[in-house]
């Protein structure tokens, strides 16, 4: 039994460190996806900004208000769509700002505030890699060791329970 635990022990430790080491690359790929979405929204807003520059003193908000005040339903709906793009750009800027921090806080943000659609899209094309920055390596070892210690704790708990049950029945 000690031999099996020893092998499992090492497999869990190595797997935990490698898996934890891939988390920073997932975060980086998530950030790249958010940045790409922001770039696209800003590119889509650019022609409207040019119109706002020409007719509304550069104020996109004024252009949106002009659209929303129109009695023409199509023109009004364009204002709604433009406002949605502006809101989306602001939200994406906030996400990038939240991810512009240390690895621990990036992970906390991803666990608590990540956009599930962007996270799913990132996961669909995720290419695991192991970043060799000091922060990423330390993170991989700390999380990997925590996983390993959890495994040891569960193993010890179950082995003690098994010994107690065998002692009771035997």
Residue 85, number of CB atoms within 10 A of its CB: 17
Taking only the tens place, the pLDDT of each residue in 11-63 is 999 999 999 999 999 999 999 999 999 999 999 999 999 999 999 999 999 99
The H-assigned helical ranges of 56-133 are: 60-68, 73-98, 103-113, 116-124
Q: What is the pTM assigned to this prediction?
A: 0.82
Domain map (residue ranges) of the chain: 2-165
User: CB burial class (10 A; 0-12, 13-18, 19+) of residue 91?
Assistant: middle
What is the pLDDT averaged over residues 110-136?
A: 93
Confidence of residue 131 (pLDDT cuts 50, 70, 90): confident
The per-residue pLDDT for 69 is: 94
What is the pLDDT averaged over residues 117-141?
A: 93
Going 9 to 12 to 15 to 17, the CA torsion angle's sign is negative
* Secondary structure (H, E, C), 4-55: HHHHHHHHHHHHHHHHHHHHHHHHHHHHHHHHHHHHHHHHHHHHHHHHHHHH
Taking only the tens place, the pLDDT of each residue in 53-98 is 999 999 999 999 999 999 999 999 999 999 999 999 999 999 999 9
Confidence of residue 169 (pLDDT cuts 50, 70, 90): confident
């Amino acid at each position: 039994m000690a031999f099996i635990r020893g092998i499992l022990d090492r497999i869990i430790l190595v797997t935990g460190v490698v898996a934890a080491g891939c988390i920073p690359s997932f975060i980086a790929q998530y950030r790249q996806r958010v940045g790409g979405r922001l770039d696209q929204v800003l590119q889509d807003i650019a022609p409207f900004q040019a119109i706002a520059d020409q007719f509304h003193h550069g104020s996109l908000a004024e252009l949106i208000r002009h659209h929303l005040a129109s009695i023409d339903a199509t023109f009004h709906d364009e204002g709604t769509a433009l406002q949605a793009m502006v809101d989306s750009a602001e939200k994406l800027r906030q996400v990038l700002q939240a991810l512009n921090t240390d690895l621990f806080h990036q992970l906390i943000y991803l666990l608590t505030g990540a956009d599930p659609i962007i996270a799913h899209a990132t996961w669909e094309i995720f290419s695991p890699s192991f970043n060799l920055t000091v922060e990423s390596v330390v993170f991989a070892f700390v999380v990997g060791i925590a996983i390993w210690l959890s495994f040891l704790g569960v193993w010890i708990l179950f082995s003690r329970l098994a010994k107690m049950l065998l002692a009771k029945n035997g």
